[in-house]
Structure 1
């Protein structure tokens, strides 16, 4: 132990002392995990502590300064205002927030998105590329090892029983037309009634012939991601509908019937477009790189189909977080916004633009339902909030890496698409969704 067992100090006195910083530096430089994860980080960082912790006695100290260089810590000491002027990355939080992050060994990106940690100086885009390094760095920090907070959610065995009904809502209380799912269903009947086969594509077919090879490549690339993405969510949604139905939530199930129908139409739209407009040989799946496959080929179906054997609130939260918060609410929303802006700004492909505008409108209802579902589950199970946040943190890392993966295949992306815009928009969408959750 690096501290005395019988020492009756407060958290601030235990953490952020000189001896604690010395121990942390040693821990960083002997950590194989940090050497590996932090090998591309070569910049100093200031962890600003405001208000100042009681254990920091130096009058001019503002927090902790770490000079990190390719998996090593060259210097770790108290920071000053001069360091803040020269350092390119400053993260600010109160001492309790820093202690919480240190004890849990979590990277600070999620806390930045929730505004408990402030990015006072620096680029969130840069930090997002170094999330694993930041997490590995905080995991090396000394903690009070005799203070363990464990949480476990035990899946309750549910005896299997033959399906049966004891009563019906429509013949007793009647449907609740003021419920949020039923309001979404009313919107779906108005705005979701469109036929992909009715969208005219003759102008798109003429334009396609004039595009350069690079222009065709990026259009096929983005379409390939959406084609598989829409098919995946169509294939994987059914277990959630089944769980909602088993719980007797008829209003939610009624809305989800339109949800699945709309996902099916989205799948149809991209398939029609690929066959009727995109001429020439196309290997769509060649654009599905490792990070894309991790999320869409593995994590999405795993989270949804787990509901077949586990109907617990935690399993439902994992499904909704993966499907609605990340796949739809972060990645799809960002991709469709970029696609739409690109087509409008360059006056391109009116048929594709019309279809995407319709898709965006449908997806907004899907995301709204997902947030409603997550909040309903959290209201009944507030203790699951921390596990949900941990999962969202992991999934956001996957999502941002998919964006990096897309742009790594091009020196210059046609039609003015920029990686920084994609990342900023994705993070903003994620922040908007997080702000609406009851966490």
Structure 2
């Protein structure tokens, strides 16, 4: 059996495109379980570089326009459009997280994340123009992609602006920084982004369709694994130091929106009970990512159930209590906490 680190950690960009979707999907979880510190994540960044401009998209363009079934083409366009907006937004909004970094190791790692977000944004602009046929002007392209955004994305964008502005106004406020990290690293990256990336990698599988996009999204998954691990480290520290309420407040407002969005990416599995534990592990739903993240940061299981129950209010037909019970050991049941 090949060690997981040799499958994903040490793979070249071209090799990433040939790996099984399950190996790529498992990577963020396996990295998070190691509970690495920012300095260790920095070292991985040094070893895992790739170029957005070097990704070949000529075959992808021809395939997307002429060979893909209409339904798959529409699904891919909708998902990719969220990344056009999301990766640019991530680059644009990461400055407050850097500004409030509590120590030097955090700041140095966050510098690598800025570089990653710039690379991802550049790649998405290329995919938008060269494959989807969007306008090459990034400003116009962002408007085109935003037109496909769902209401939950718009609600999250408003919350992002609110939380980031508060941190910029008080960069030395540790709790405001933790709120930024909660939204950016646990909600946006740890659930939304990684779920979308996994859905594309799984959809394309090992076929020769869209090889550039598949390899690029696999590489983005690996980058996100480092970002997510940093966020889990920061939030675990924050909870241990007594700042859980600041973290919970953001999760209570943002996570139900994110879970509904990831459910639409994986309509057969996200809130529905799959036939087996193995099936759920293979699909790596947004709910899975959220529940694992909450365990890794040491969150209160009762609060975790409460957040999933709030998502049930938004999508009552899609959330199944048995799915939550297997992660928390108890049946999901509503609890009263700052009801809105």
Tell me the TM-score normalised to structure 1 length: 0.52
Give the CA deviation at 1:243.
Answer: 1.5
Q: In 2, distance between residues paired with 1:287 and 1:326?
A: 20
Which one of the candidate residues 419, 426, 430 is aligned to 2:267? 419
Aligned residue number for residue 355 of structure 1: 216
Aligned residue number for residue 70 of structure 1: none
Give the CA deviation at 1:280.
Answer: 6.8
SS of 2:108's partner is helix
Aligned residue number for residue 256 of structure 2: 397
Structure showing greater radius of gyration is 1
SS of 1:205's partner is helix
Aligned residue number for residue 228 of structure 1: 85
| Structure 2 unmatched ranges of 5 or more | 1-35, 136-140, 273-284, 300-340
Give the CA deviation at 1:395.
Answer: 1.7
Q: In 2, distance between residues paired with 1:260 and 1:302?
A: 21
Give the CA deviation at 1:332.
Answer: 1.0
Aligned residue number for residue 190 of structure 1: 47
Q: In 2, distance between residues paired with 1:225 and 1:379?
A: 34
Q: In 1, distance between residues paired with 2:148 and 2:162?
A: 22
Instruction: Answer 1 or 2: which has greater strand percent.
Output: 1
Q: In 1, distance between residues paired with 2:56 and 2:208?
A: 16
Aligned residue number for residue 438 of structure 1: 298
Q: In 2, distance between residues paired with 1:203 and 1:352?
A: 10
Aligned residue number for residue 317 of structure 1: 178
Q: In 2, distance between residues paired with 1:337 and 1:366?
A: 16
What is the correspondence of 1:143-182 to structure 2 with a 5 Å cutoff?
180-182=37-39
RMSD (Å) for aligned C-alpha atoms: 2.1
Give the CA deviation at 1:368.
Answer: 0.5
Q: In 2, distance between residues paired with 1:403 and 1:202?
A: 29
Aligned residue number for residue 58 of structure 2: 202
Q: In 1, distance between residues paired with 2:254 and 2:230?
A: 19
Give the CA deviation at 1:337.
Answer: 0.9
Is the aligned partner of 1:379 residue 2:240? Answer: yes
What is the correspondence of 1:36-435 to structure 2 with a 5 Å cutoff?
180-191=37-48, 193-208=49-64, 209-244=66-101, 247=102, 249-279=103-133, 283-295=144-156, 297-310=157-170, 311-344=172-205, 347-380=208-241, 382=242, 384-403=243-262, 407=264, 418-423=266-271, 425-435=285-295
Give the CA deviation at 1:347.
Answer: 4.4
Deviations 1:58-109 (A, max 9, x none): xxxxxxxxxxxxxxxxxxxxxxxxxxxxxxxxxxxxxxxxxxxxxxxxxxxx
Between 1:426-435 and 1:215-224, the stretch displaced more is 215-224
Q: Answer 1 or 2: higher relative contact order, Cα 8 Å, separation at least 6.
A: 2
SS of 1:314's partner is helix
Q: Is the 8 A contact 1:403 1:423 kept in 2?
A: no
Q: In 2, distance between residues paired with 1:390 and 1:420?
A: 30
Tell me the TM-score normalised to structure 2 length: 0.67
SS of 1:292's partner is helix
Give the CA deviation at 1:254.
Answer: 1.1
Q: Is the 8 A contact 2:262 2:286 kept in 1?
A: no
Q: Is the 8 A contact 1:236 1:305 kept in 2?
A: no
Between 1:388-397 and 1:364-373, the stretch displaced more is 388-397
Aligned residue number for residue 7 of structure 2: none
Give the CA deviation at 1:421.
Answer: 2.4
| Structure 1 unmatched ranges of 5 or more | 1-178, 408-416
SS of 1:270's partner is helix
Q: In 1, distance between residues paired with 2:246 and 2:92?
A: 26
Q: In 1, distance between residues paired with 2:111 and 2:234?
A: 15
